Amino acid sequence: MHPPDELMVDSFLPSIRLLTAKELRGRGSSQGRIATALGVTQASVSLYLASAPDRAYSSLEGFHVTREEADRYATLLAEDAMRNPSYAVETLGRIWTSLIGRGLACDLHRKEHPSLSDCDYCTKAFGARGEGGREAIAEVSQAVKAIESSTTFVAAMPEVSVNLACVSGDSSLAENVVAVPGRIVKVRNSARAIRQPEFGASGHMARMLLLVRKRRKNFRAVVNLRYDTKMARVLKKLGLRILEIGDYSETGGGDPTMEALRMRLAETKSGFDAIVDRGGKGIEPNVYLLGGGAMEAAQLAIRASELYSAA
């Protein structure tokens, strides 16, 4: 038996670690700090930094990952690893399942193991699901294109980047929430999605959306933006009702945002249209805008970015 996880461990992971280590080094991190962030030894980090990146790029091309995509992955993983190593693990998992779900590892897998020539497990298990799935992905794709077309959206993006999540139908399962694998990132002066929207592409946004829907079933989508005093004025101008969480003393284990939101929802019966997370140690402040669908949430976010840029 030769599961695709062998490819992850033997080829994909070392290559993406190498590029992430170089990204962290470029941001001024010491070898010791990089080792802690990546969960490897300092000796391994030293080897990564001494190696030419071309080796990693060449390996990732076997998974149909371009150099530009590889660099974006490394940037995202570096950001997450410095915030909380568990965030990087989740992001890495999303990237990998996105690749195998679209069959991008199949050529390499079958080349190494010809007996798997008729295997289609990954595309069935991790790919888009049925007509309803295609419609949900199309809905989010259209909303993402609207965001990418905005000339002001990038000004309102947080350092942790942006994601747009939308639940398919009336489901209460995280695996039925569509989002962007690797998120929507800054590319020069524009917002760009790293990959096409997929099911199960953001555990954090899915958990938040499904938790909100226990109180507000009319909301099917959520998108995050940066939060500061200027954004606070924008939200007031938009007339949005705010549910506020944050000011964490420490991150601890698990997802502090979800725990804080769960507690806040239990405390209040007031209506809300957006969630402001004031952040805390290791957590960047964000505002989460809610919508009845993906396009509604995207248009609200674009309007907020227009007001933010003009302020």
Confidence band, pLDDT 50/70/90 cuts, at residue 90 = confident
What is the spatial distance between Cα 179 and Cα 170, in angstroms, rounded to a whole number?
Answer: 16
Q: How far is CA 272 from the centre of its chain?
A: 24
Give the model confidence (pLDDT) of 105-121 as tens digits.
999 999 888 898 888 88
Contact criterion met (CB below 8 Å) for 134 and 128: yes
pLDDT at 251 over 60: no
Using the predicted structure, report yes or no on whether residue 165 has a pLDDT greater than 80. Answer: yes
Residue type present at position 138:
A
Report the first-to-last Cα separation within the chain, whole angstroms: 59
Question: Homologous superfamily of 130-310 in CATH?
Answer: Class II aldolase/adducin N-terminal domain (3.40.225.10)
Q: How far apart are CA 223 and CA 165, in angstroms?
A: 7
Q: Region 7-15: what's the mean pLDDT?
A: 94
Cα separation values, 165 from 59, 160, 208, 213, Å: 31, 15, 10, 13
Q: Looking at the predicted structure, is the pLDDT value of residue 207 above 80?
A: yes
Q: pTM for the full model? A: 0.65
pLDDT at 15 over 90: yes
Nearest to 303 by CA among 222, 228, 241, 235: 235
Say how many residues make up the chain.
311
Query: Within the chain, which residue ranges are assigned CATH 3.40.225.10?
Result: 130-310
What's the whole-number average pLDDT of the chain?
89
- Position 16 scores a pLDDT of 96
Q: Is the pLDDT of residue 91 over 90?
A: no
